[in-house]
Structure 1
Amino acid sequence: LLLNASRKTVSALAFSPDGKLVVTGENGHCPAVRVWDVEERAQISELHGHKHGVTCVTFSPCAEYLVSVGHRHDRVVNVWDWKKGTLVASNKVSCRVTAVAFSEEGFFVTAGQRHVKFWFLDSARELKVKETVPLLGRSGLLGGLHDNVFCGVACGGGGTLGSTFCVTRSGLLCLFNRRRVLEKWIGLKVSLATCVCVGEELVFCGCDNGTVRIFQAQDLRYLGDLPKPHPLGVDVTRAPQPR
């Protein structure tokens, strides 16, 4: 249990890669991005750079930086050096963003309404100046899927390093290559998709009705579904009642 003393609604949450830290974003006037120590259950950093609310947050692979994205009335993408409490880089987005993911290769990706964008931090310039620098962003080449709402994004690692995976709300799994080109997409055969998670070999897609579909990361080959969770209120330690 983490006690948020500001009493503002927590609108976004993400763990650091090692699981020792949690970053949260808030809704409301002058919302904060807060970093928490999981073991100590204490806040260790508080960052202010959004006006109306935070839609999504994430850590960089080494947890040195974190990214926060404002909601539809804010639409600011901020990169923070959270240990120093400084804003490293920032830029605006014109579309509503619903998800963000950081790649091991140093860039991060935002996804949203008709939007998949790859962001690059100019490290050389960052070292030369001690003020916030503009983020460099390049749009993904969406081809015929430019009218979709991309609601989940994940960056590959290991054998899939350089690949980016997205899901659309309408139920499509998309693969972008290193050149930001939509290389392949497949239908999940569901009415709604919500999120995506990727490992070195597998991709997991969260869909409606508790469905989680598993695919091979290299070629998006369908492998199967995870067992659905028990309904709320069911005690799994007890034997089922005879019908």
Structure 2
Amino acid sequence: DKSEFGTFTDRGKFWLESPYTKIMSDLSLACDPRTGLLAYPAGCVIILLNPRKNKQQHILNSSRKAITTLAFSPDGKYVVTGESGHMPAVRVWEVSEHAQVAELQEHKYGVSCVAFSPNGKYIVSVGYQHDMMVNVWNWKKNVVVAANKVSSKVTAVSFSYDSSYFVTAGNRHVKFWYLDHTKTSKLNATVPLLGRSGLLGELRNNFFSDVACGRGRQSSSTFCITSSGLLCEFNDRRLLDKWVDLRSSQATCLSVTEEFIFCGCSDGTVRVFSPVNLHFLCSLPRPHCLGADIASVVEAR
């Protein structure tokens, strides 16, 4: 039984044809901030890469459904994955044992993004556009605690630092979803998830390709980028009140710390801004082109 990524043997093992695969989006690449371990999918396989030791391990999804998105838990002990296909599951894997420890099947067509809450208690999963569902589940009790419908195409999700809300972003869509912990703590009772749209103003027709909630002193802010190349900031009233031009033809991803905002743009460009005032700080050196063997470069005489 062969796929584009490898071959299943008669004994149920899966041999990768190549340890590398195209990363479709930043949602299919995750990094454990404690150890630097990278996780990314190759079909139905999770590849765990240690870049310091240049060693990798694999976790096989026994359902053989392609993994579309993944994320580490805050402590790095677990990875949550979403799948494509009919009745896809959201699965939680223990990294050290390479074993599945939880499974949730509440989506119908595919899972576009997943995320752990910073307190590690909840997982949010957003379905494909035709799935139209956003679920919050207490994964250790394997129960959905809050859910609602979302009609837009969602491509990114980010939790607030205090785990009280999360934000989804996508096509003409930025929405803030609030968790009522007094209700979500009840067992076997799914409550409606309260959602409030971001006030987009004149940028309402943009495609918001990624979102990240602020950290530290900027924890009340939410940062987004548009595919057209704008970095935007929402204040604590959900109002998009600041934005700057990234001066790039396209922007695809961002990462926010207490001191910096890193924006991934076209042609390998990474712009760095201050989260306090969105002032431009620098552009990182561009990486070498794919396939370039820098060891073979000979210094010009």
Shorter-chain TM-score tier: over 0.9
Where does residue 149 of structure 1 map in the other structure? Answer: 207
Where does residue 175 of structure 2 map in the other structure? Answer: 117
Hey, what's the Cα distance between the residues in 1 that align with 2:59 and 2:81? Answer: 10
1:54-65 to 2 correspondence within 5 Å? 54-65=111-122
Q: Is the 8 A contact 1:159 1:201 kept in 2?
A: no
Aligned length: 242
> For 1:2, what is the secondary structure of its paired residue?
strand
1:1-243 to 2 correspondence within 5 Å? 1-105=58-162, 106-128=164-186, 130-236=188-294, 238=295, 240-243=297-300
Q: Which amino acid aligns with 1:82?
A: W
Q: Is the 8 A contact 2:129 2:151 kept in 1?
A: no
**Cα distance, 1:239 vs structure 2:** 5.8
Q: Is the 8 A contact 1:156 1:199 kept in 2?
A: yes
Q: Which amino acid aligns with 2:101?
A: I
Distance 1:35 1:121, change over 3 A: same
> For 1:34, what is the secondary structure of its paired residue?
strand
Q: Is the 8 A contact 1:154 1:196 kept in 2?
A: yes
Hey, what's the Cα distance between the residues in 1 that align with 2:228 and 2:184? Answer: 39
Q: Is the 8 A contact 1:170 1:191 kept in 2?
A: yes
Max Rg structure: 2
CA RMSD of aligned residues (A): 1.3
Q: Which digits, 9 at most, give the CA deviation of each residue in 1:180-239, with x for residues without a partner?
A: 111200110111111111000110111111111100010001111122222233445x36
Q: Which amino acid aligns with 1:175?
A: E
Q: Which digits, 9 at most, give the CA deviation of each residue in 1:87-119, with x for residues without a partner?
A: 111000121111000001310000011110000
Hey, what's the Cα distance between the residues in 2 that align with 1:148 and 1:43? Answer: 38
Hey, what's the Cα distance between the residues in 2 that align with 1:181 and 1:231? Answer: 39
TM-score of the aligned structures, taking structure 2 as reference length: 0.78
Hey, what's the Cα distance between the residues in 1 that align with 2:159 and 2:181? Answer: 16
Identity %: 60
